[in-house]
Structure 1
């Protein structure tokens, strides 16, 4: 089982890495089930299901209109009977009853997905991570994957115009208001029309607590995960390369498209480590090892 949440999604690259992490840390059996917390429009979960009839996914989010939009647009890409592979639920990941709703496919393997950006303080984040560990398959094991960003590039005011080569649409990422004491950062995505004008009515606003890799690793240990790993990319990694495709078939070759240059931190060369001084993006992979017997 894979547990996942990403702030800015490039589904093909994200899923390729997830499958690679699962094979490396859990075993050779193909993961079947993905859980996506704070799922929004559930693009990642829907793309996962599209990779094969044996796959299933569930997503949880607080915002019903967003879930409905995702069901209409991303869920429909599954087509016909395949739509039963995806379940989108409204609820709070910090509520044990709502969190328990996310395991409607008991026969599925142990993958899941989740993002820390909405957990605003250490108590809430630890509580959430304990729910994650409890929901994973204790017998077969599973992984929890999340992404983090940080460094000076994530802590200063900036405006970055971006373009999605797949959809042809553009947007501007506006970052402002980082507080070094509370480590909270606010940001806005301003979509642009095809003619380049900003479509202000489609703005997305974020209020994030910026966690460090050591902080999250320690909380994962307290939550009951046996091991954690990180894979890093310099210069903000994912934050500076967000042109991922909006659809994928799920095959190995196609899922590999859209990957950023993520490497285990200990394998980074001196030049890559130098780039981390400006800004970084990292996957955190928490492993719940299979129980013997």
Structure 2
């Protein structure tokens, strides 16, 4: 159960990328539905080919993927047109053009979402307070007003505000996180992800690069409240110090550290947080 007092069924994954979370969500209950929204159409196409199309008609008929901007979600265009009419809980609004190739999110009457999420620090891609509040308002408008929740993640700590390079080794590749200089006035940095493949030996520099504004927890709380959320909650855990994990193997580092709901938290070298806004 969640704060709405019932089993959550309807899920929206903003900045969904390859939509893995949405796909996994559908496996756990045959009544569940998922909406994915992302600006990268290549990632959505990969999701269709490698995730959605391999899970069977029952699951794939309950996911809707949209290509568009989270700041203009209603204008986002449907990507997976083949299965859209199989979903009984969704109806199409009146439209002059009934072709599925032209359907936008605003053309559908989706059930109110029980959960909307924005993970992988994606809200850092929004650089201004106006953009952040606008996005939170869109998220709130999609939520069930009887306990629907918005969830996002954020990282921080003293190590997050200067140059940083960390790597994790896996059997077939090494993953490198590189953080450029940190502008303390604009609170902006550039994050680049590199991969060193072992077989064949090949380096993929800047496989992904992001210009981020590193928001603070109070800023996120203020913007969520300004957008209209009833309450905001923080779950935080202390992460291993950056000096201790500049080079690690696999995902074991820090996995035994649990998240706890807090109202106060002392600054650390590194921390990670989940922020929950209640509609």
The bucket for the TM-score relative to the shorter chain is 0.7 to 0.9
Conserved in 2, the CA contact under 8 Å of 1:153 and 1:235? Answer: no
Residue 38 of structure 2 is matched in structure 1 by 61
Residue 220 (1) aligns with residue 197 (2)? no
Measured against aligned partners, the alpha-carbon deviations of 1:84-112 in whole angstroms (never above 9, x if no partner) come to 11111101111152368289573465111
* Residue in 2 that maps onto 1:279: 270
| 1:49–1:226 distance in 2 versus 1, CA, 3 Å | same
- Compared CA separation, residues 96 and 66, structure 1 to 2 (3 A): closer
Instruction: Name the structure 2 match of 1:113.
Output: 117
Encode CA deviations 1:17-52: one digit per residue, 9 max, x unaligned: xxxxx62x332x111111011111111111111222
Structure of larger gyration radius: 2
Match of 1:265 in 2: 262
Deviation at 1:170, TM superposition (A): 3.1
TM norm structure 2? 0.77
Return the offset for 1:177. Answer: 2.1
Gaps of 5+ in 1: 1-21, 245-257, 289-293
Residue in 1 that maps onto 2:4:
26
Higher relative contact order (CA 8 A, sep 6+): 1
CA deviation after TM superposition for structure 1 residue 280, in Å: 1.3
Alignment counterpart, residue 232 of structure 1, candidates 219, 228, 236: 236
Number of corresponding residues? 242
Q: Which residue pairs with 1:8 in the alignment?
A: none
Structure 1 equivalent of residue 134 of structure 2 = 127
Confirm or deny: 8 A CA contact 1:153 1:236 kept in the other structure. Answer: no
Decide whether the 8 Å contact of 2:14 with 2:117 is kept in 1.
yes
Using the TM superposition, give the Cα deviation of residue 152 of structure 1 relative to its aligned residue in structure 2, in angstroms. 1.3
Look up the SS of the partner of 2:190 in the other structure: strand
The answer to whether the 8 A contact 2:193-2:205 is kept is no
- Flag the 1:142–1:102 CA change in 2: closer, same or farther, 3 A: farther
Distance 1:172 1:45 in 2: 26
Per-residue CA deviations over 1:229-287 (Å, capped at 9, x if unaligned) read: 001111369xx79967xxxxxxxxxxxxx78621112487xxxx4xx421211000000
Listed as ranges, the gaps of 5+ residues in structure 2 are 77-103
- Structure with greater proportional strand content: 2
The Cα shift of 1:81 comes to 3.0
Per the alignment, residue 84 of structure 1 pairs with 61
For 2:189 and 2:156, locate their aligned partners in 1 and report how far apart those are by CA, in whole Å: 11
Change (3 A) 1:135 1:278: same
Two-structure CA RMSD over aligned residues (Å): 3.0
Q: Using the TM superposition, give the Cα deviation of residue 194 of structure 1 relative to its aligned residue in structure 2, in angstroms.
A: 3.5
Structure 1 residue 189, shift from structure 2 partner = 1.0
5 Å matches for 1:139-154? 140-154=146-160
With over 3 angstroms needed to count, the CA separation of the structure-2 counterparts of 1:186 and 1:125, relative to structure 1, is same
Name the counterpart of 2:84: none
Q: What corresponds to 2:168 in structure 1?
A: 162
Q: Say which of 5, 9, 12 aligns to 1:35.
A: 12
Structure showing the higher helix proportion among its residues: 1
Counterpart of 2:162 in 1: which secondary structure?
A: coil
